């Protein structure tokens, strides 16, 4: 049974393995990337396996945790965390151990939350594409209005 209220806050170390990205090393798809250097709180999802730039930390979910679900949990908790721990324009790798994220206990609930978030992300992308189209039309008319 899916119960979205059955979650607890867990330290990131219990949910993920963490590593500062190394050049030429290939990381598994489903990992979360946290920008450490010159960051604005950037958190990204690594769709497919591949190499990662050195200014990222790679957080790979442990068994029992779904990759995209963990990404969304980190994304939710990150603004408050970065406000507290960012030093200048950088974030120290060692401070990531202090990140605490909300985690649902049931894998079924994790999948449900993940599916809902993917649907919402898709709708947001559609709306953004529509806004971009309207802005292109607006720019066209502004350029041709006073010829």
**pLDDT reported for residue 4:** 85
Q: How confident is the model at residue 47 (pLDDT cuts 50, 70, 90)?
A: very high
Tens digit of each residue's pLDDT (9 = 90 or more) over 107-124 = 899 999 999 999 999 999
Report whether 49 contacts 27 (CB < 8 A).
yes
**pLDDT reported for residue 56:** 95
Alpha-carbon distance of 107 to 115, in angstroms, equals 12
pTM: 0.81
**pLDDT reported for residue 87:** 82
Which segments within the chain are labelled E, that is strand? 7-11, 16-20, 26-27, 31-35, 43-46, 50-51, 56-61, 100-104
Tens digit of each residue's pLDDT (9 = 90 or more) over 55-89 = 999 999 998 899 999 999 999 999 999 999 888 88
19 exposed, middle or buried (CB, 10 Å; 0-12, 13-18, 19+)?
A: middle
CATH number assigned to the domain with residue range 7-145, chosen from the 4 options 3.90.220.20, 1.25.40.10, 3.40.50.1980, 3.30.450.20: 3.90.220.20
């Amino acid at each position: 049974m899916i119960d979205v209220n059955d979650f607890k806050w867990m330290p990131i170390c219990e949910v993920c393995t963490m590593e500062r990205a190394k050049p030429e090393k290939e990381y598994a798809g489903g990992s979360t990337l946290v920008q450490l250097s010159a960051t604005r709180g950037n958190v990204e999802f690594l769709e497919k396996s591949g190499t990662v730039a050195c200014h990222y930390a790679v957080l790979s979910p442990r068994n029992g945790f779904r990759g995209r679900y963990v990404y969304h949990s980190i994304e939710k908790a990150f603004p408050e965390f970065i406000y507290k721990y960012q030093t200048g324009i950088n974030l120290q790798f060692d401070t990531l151990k202090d990140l605490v994220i909300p985690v649902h206990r049931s894998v079924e609930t994790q999948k449900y939350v993940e599916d809902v978030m993917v649907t919402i992300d898709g709708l947001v992308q559609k709306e953004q594409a529509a806004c971009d189209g309207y802005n292109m039309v607006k720019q066209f008319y502004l350029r041709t209005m006073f010829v």
